[in-house]
Amino acid sequence: MDYEFLRDVTGQVQVRFSMGHEVVGHWFNEEVKGDMHLLAKVEAAAADVKGSERHWQLEGHEYTLWLDGEEVMIRANLLEFEGDEIEEGMAYYDEESLSLCGVEDFLQVIQKYREFAAGC
């Protein structure tokens, strides 16, 4: 999982992830937007479910983050389909709308995000 941190013209931290993990970057860019309290909430939840069968979910405006003791899933809220909304013979492309990664890798990205945002 490769990624890079940038600053936009307003100074806001932006994150770009490699193919297959783009949604992780979208989550940081759309839901976090520099909110370190949100990141602390995610870290606390990860610590809480570690070593258990429990899971935790955070629904945002555009993306939902779900985690358990081993992995993190981020998906676009638009992926929630009811019944057979897709026409027969058609497939929904979700490569840029859903991503999975390990909890430890995700927590490391959070730490690097904090460091970059602080100007380290």
SS3 23: helix
What's CA 89's distance to the chain center, in Å?
Answer: 30
Residue 90 in tokens:
């058609």
Distance between CA atoms of 119 and 4, rounded to whole angstroms? 14
pLDDT band, residue 80 (cuts 50/70/90): low
Mean pLDDT of 60-75: 97
How many Å apart are CA 84 and CA 107, to the nearest integer? 36
Residue among 26, 86, 96 at smallest CA distance from 62: 26
* Per-residue model confidence (pLDDT) at position 81: 52
DSSP state of 69: S
- The full set of domain ranges for the chain reads 3-81+96-117
Structure-token match 């976090």, residue found: 32
CA dist 35 and 100 (Å) reads 22
* Average pLDDT over every residue of 11-31: 95
